[in-house]
A and B are shown apart, each in its own frame.
Chain A
Amino acid sequence: DAKTTQPPSMDCAEGRAANLPCNHSTISGNEYVYWYRQIHSQGPQYIIHGLKNNETNEMASLIITEDRKSSTLILPHATLRDTAVYYCIVTWAGSYQLTFGKGTKLSVIP
């Protein structure tokens, strides 16, 4: 699986959009970009995933650059409950071993 690089920490004001970047410059054509988050040692929570196109669901939007070498997770209106560690994971469709790096610790500030 391709390696990912994320900033170790970010702050976001409550109610504003949180934009979390991820670099995956060695991604191959059949690899997906997944985002999970872990709130204070709870189980990781699936957020969203994508291959080439931008994706949106009730939790977030995923913007993948045209060359697929980076992506951004967008939480449109961050709340205090979004404070968590966010993991960007690149994995191919047949893989079952998710590789969790250190992620980005997002702090939403009142």
Chain B
Amino acid sequence: QKEVEQDPGPLSVPEGAIVSLNCTYSNSAFQYFMWYRQYSRKGPELLMYTYSSGNKEDGRFTAQVDKSSKYISLFIRDSQPSDSATYLCAMSAPYDNFNKFYFGSGTKLNVKP
């Protein structure tokens, strides 16, 4: 079983839609959760960083963590064509060796004008 599972997509939505991206994980020790956005031919760019359970909002983006279900989500409101990218989730456990992050394989999102 993979540490982190993420649907690869592609996910295609019309401009203005609400997008929901999700990851599940198996290690209950994970406490730190991140979402990265990766455009084609670019490196991953940090979007959201959260600790433990709950929600965090930043503009059109909301990150949600449900530790009881081992499930994290990224919501994008009023999606734009410029949001078309691959979204990677990542997570880590406290006191783990050398700050190791566990990544999902990424979900490709296409927002159509």
The answer to whether A binds B is no
Query: Measuring CB to CB, which residues of chain A are less than 8 angstroms from any residue of chain B?
Result: none
Query: Measuring CB to CB, which residues of chain B are less than 8 angstroms from any residue of chain A?
Result: none
